[in-house]
Structure 1
């Protein structure tokens, strides 16, 4: 036998220390050969999934399965004739593809995520990983676990002492080291019921094996230690009824509910965002209120807005300023970016991120709070299996590394993600169906005569089991009786909560910025962080305003030289500039408010800054820029009409027009902003703004004669106030004589040639015709008073009316 044949024999032979009792030798060798072939197959699959440019060498070379080996595997007792796997080998492949660990290579600018690195600490510094523990995600049953292995023989299995980086790691790998029961196996590992290991031949425990076990209390958990005791919410009917659960340090508690509202209610109750009607919440042995929980528990909602004009690094800097405090350094921000695979995107705008990257970014913001308890509502919603796998695995490692508590809702998780959590709370109709260790869930339901079938995801199966079936009256009756039975069973058979022990010190509160820090952070975001995006939007508005003004000026070109005052060209210029062509700019203002409202509401709900502080600073920062935009809109058209030299050479008429015109247009702008803040739908805001501004424009005296309008309407018309000041200035006799270009006509008589003088334009009669012959002296006071009243209405409406963030569609793609 040559050296190559000896090497193949050494690598592909069954270890001598492997316990193969109950299996015939050929069957054991076939299972081992299948494990080798499967790892080779998945190594190639991993390269394709990760988009590797070049294929890595197969862990076990060019290894092929014989037909007899495949048939032997399909005839295995676990996959008997009744199983569809016995007659369809392709179906078996769908159940037998575990994740593998490809050879380590440079990331080549990738996000740092490797779906196979489950449980492995990544080394970003290039240090060797010989001392790191290799653990894997379970994707199908482990053939080595079909025997009962005594505890004294558990460590007699073959142990791989050297780190062979080119060898794939799979839970079905017969050369894998460690005890028969692994971390991700949901088979009991000393669950507290039995005196020894329980045998499992049919894939899941049956009631006959669980009947002899006894429940016992879980020992007291480490701090932070959270307990909910008989909690009930305020709704009618209540979303939560007698919710009892607990979790401690290094735990990842998964809340699985039949409806999203139930899971969200549990998360909001734990995070202090929802008050309870009755029951107790204990944190480290102390009863706590919702306000105490809110100040100590970090909360990540399912829908969390991000400032679209900021980059990833700017979002984190803004969040650190308001939540991280002075103790958070830039190195910590860089470390979190690197751990979450966001380092390559830190200079990208958040609106260019994928769904997965955006979800990791909002998670990074919560991690910077340095809270001991982190709650997340549906963090894997909208993510594919790889991104969800990475996110939950990172949370598990974060909780373990820092002895922290993670509570999240999953609807429902995949089998691999289910095996990453340590505790499960299953609810239906607001009641607890199961609450406890994840590894004890299957034997618990097996004892309740609801064992999970083989090759079925337990989370899918048990969520279906406790869901009300309303397809028919019989199905609804049967499912409701089953749910009531499981609820009563959980109340009577689940072990009680552990003893919290003496009251201990509560976790440190999350940093909360004071009013001055909030003002500083908002100013930095508006004036610094949001650049150049804000400047680009400002220039776009300038271009739109200038285009409208040039168009208007071209229509009313040199209207000052027109002596026919009864054509009302001057009135038409004022009417068009102040009323009609303002509307496109008003729509831009409404859109600007609508686009940022969801983000602002999310930030305020998260407690980053106060509503009053935001709306005041928004006024101070936005009104000056809008004044520049509206000045760009007013001046060119007025100059092109030739009326800027109407009163004198000092451009007095231009300044008067600009001053009163700005006051009137800002008044209309605030009307648009007011409806944009108080209306839930943008279409409704546009409609109401159009009605109010349209009434102001029609009642200004240009389209409808003032004598046909009620007196009270004339007194409340801002357009009439403005025109009554501006029109008499350009219709005075001195102004008309100065502006009118009239050449004397020669009239030939018998012997004498004389020149007939030009007729003097009568501006007073032209104004009397439209009832604008009197000057309103208090127009500036009236306009400023209207602006002040609208500003107060906007602030009051913003403080009172609050809208929730709009939900994204359920089929949200993992794309920008």
Structure 2
């Protein structure tokens, strides 16, 4: 049996932005899925605690949110409509009125600096809409309207230029500090400006931790190991060079094991200095206790169905090429079928033909 993650430990406190860094195949996405409760395969051992208690799957989705790497947004909806729809779905009507849900969406628009793009459609590859950075912030805003205590982001800067990437991470960090939210994200190769927005970094290699802590402490740790960061070098690139293993070299596995052992030794020293060492390093995430989250769905089945129905119809009616194509297709099929079955005789063959068209027409409509 293959071990993908091994002896991962750490903590995240409110208002902190924690980044998971590593080369491809290091286990970044697997660790993020473990923490977010999205891991559906394999065997997971250890403990993940929230607010001083073991994480409960029944309520975890009520206090956490996950933003996918690929944004799933409706291209014909505006940013404001997108966030309002998310607020209608995520905020319980038993606690919030419709006006309060709208106000929550407006607050997120303002905090993520989306005011200028609020009434712009999202757009897609065929239709021009918001910019890449604004699209990513809208996707993040969809999750923030539910006021999650913990926010997970999978490669939030993927496909963005350096300025847009910095704007996205800076907005997320400001929101985390303002609300006391914990943010955990994976990122591949951040710029130096983005790197120093992170409170802590988790450096992974071959599924194990090479370092966990502030970026400057990571540089000091590697310098003590005889691996100083060259001048004028982006520390993030320096970290990736250390973490990347060349499987063609026989010495590489031993080098990575030495880095793992060095961090375990540092971790034990930290525990001894804090007086918390008990012979075993535990995986404990420390959070301040807050109001007990609600379990179950935020709104009734009928209410959510109505919200989704309105969103679907808005998307369809704004897609004029699709409406024209569907209408033209219906007219063409109607004419073809009408001509094919024109002037049927009132005999056995005519009855069979009429039965055929009564069967074919509903099947054709369903498949459109």
Q: Normalising by structure 1, report the TM-score.
A: 0.39
What aligned pairs does 1:396-545 form with structure 2 within 5 A after superposition?
396-470=173-247, 472=248, 476-494=249-267, 495-496=270-271, 504-505=289-290, 508-509=293-294, 512-527=298-313, 529-533=314-318, 537-545=322-330
Secondary structure, counterpart of 1:530 in structure 2: helix
Partners of 1:399 and 1:425 lie apart in 2 by 18
Deviation at 1:429, TM superposition (A): 0.8
CA drift at 1:478? 2.4
The alignment partner of 2:211 has SS state of strand
**2:104 aligns to what?**
332
The CA distance in 1 between the partners of 2:14 and 2:186, in whole Å, is: 18
Equivalent-residue separation in structure 2 for 1:503 and 1:547 (angstroms): 64
CA distance in 2, matches of 1:368, 1:478: 49
Q: CA deviation at 1:521?
A: 1.9
Q: In structure 2, what is the Cα distance between the partners aligned to 1:457 and 1:350?
A: 34
* Cα offset, 1:399, TM superposition: 1.0
Q: Which runs of 5+ in 2 are unaligned?
A: 277-283
Distance 1:658 1:512, change over 3 A: farther
State the match for 1:274 in structure 2: 39
**Contact kept? 2:176, 2:183, Cα under 8 Å:** yes
1:296 and 1:502 map into 2 onto residues whose CA distance is: 12
| 1:348 equivalent in alignment to 2:113 | no
Q: Secondary structure at 1:241's aligned position in 2? A: coil
TM-score (norm 2): 0.82
Counterparts of 2:67 and 2:154 in 1: how far apart (Å)? 6
| Contact 2:202 2:212 survives alignment (8 Å) | yes
CA contact (8 A) 1:467 1:479 kept: no
Whether the aligned pair in 2 keeps the contact of 1:286 and 1:504 (CA below 8 Å) is no
2: CA distance between counterparts of 1:508 and 1:432? Answer: 31
- Where 1:375 maps in the other structure, the secondary structure is strand
Structure 1 503/348 Cα, relative in aligned 2: closer, same or farther at 3 Å? closer
SS in 2 for 1:365: helix
Whether the 8 Å contact between 2:14 and 2:287 is mirrored in structure 1 is no
Task: Write out aligned runs for 1:579-658 (5 A).
Answer: 634-635=337-338, 637=339, 641=342, 643=343
Q: Could you give the per-residue CA deviations for residues 688-742 of structure 1, whole angstroms, max 9, x where no partner exists?
A: xxxxxxxxxxxxxxxxxxxxxxxxxxxxxxxxxxxxxxxxxxxxxxxxxxxxxxx
Give how far 1:411 is off.
0.5
Contact 1:258–1:429 at 8 Å: present in 2 too?
no
Q: Give 1:291 shift.
A: 4.4
Q: Report the CA distance shift for 1:274/1:396 in structure 2 as closer, same or farther (over 3 A).
A: same
Asked if structure 2 preserves the Cα contact closer than 8 Å seen for 1:270 and 1:293, the reply is no
**Aligned match for 2:357, one of 642, 661, 669:** 661
Counterpart contact for 1:263–1:377, Cα < 8 Å: no
Q: Partner of 2:4: helix, strand, or coil?
A: coil
Larger radius of gyration: 1
Distance (Å, rounded) in 1 between the aligned partners of 2:59 and 2:104:
27
Deviation at 1:277, TM superposition (A): 1.9
SS at match of 1:477: coil
Asked if structure 1 preserves the Cα contact closer than 8 Å seen for 2:316 and 2:323, the reply is no
CA distance in 2, matches of 1:496, 1:411: 29
Aligned pair in 2 of structure 1 residues 506, 280: CA closer, same or farther (>3 Å)? farther
What is the aligned partner in structure 2 of residue 547 from structure 1?
Answer: 332
Partner in structure 1 of residue 6 of structure 2: 241
Change (3 A) 1:403 1:340: closer
Deviations 1:463-510 (A, max 9, x none): 11121113x3xxx22222111001011112122497778994566358
Instruction: Give the SS at the match of 2:250.
Output: helix
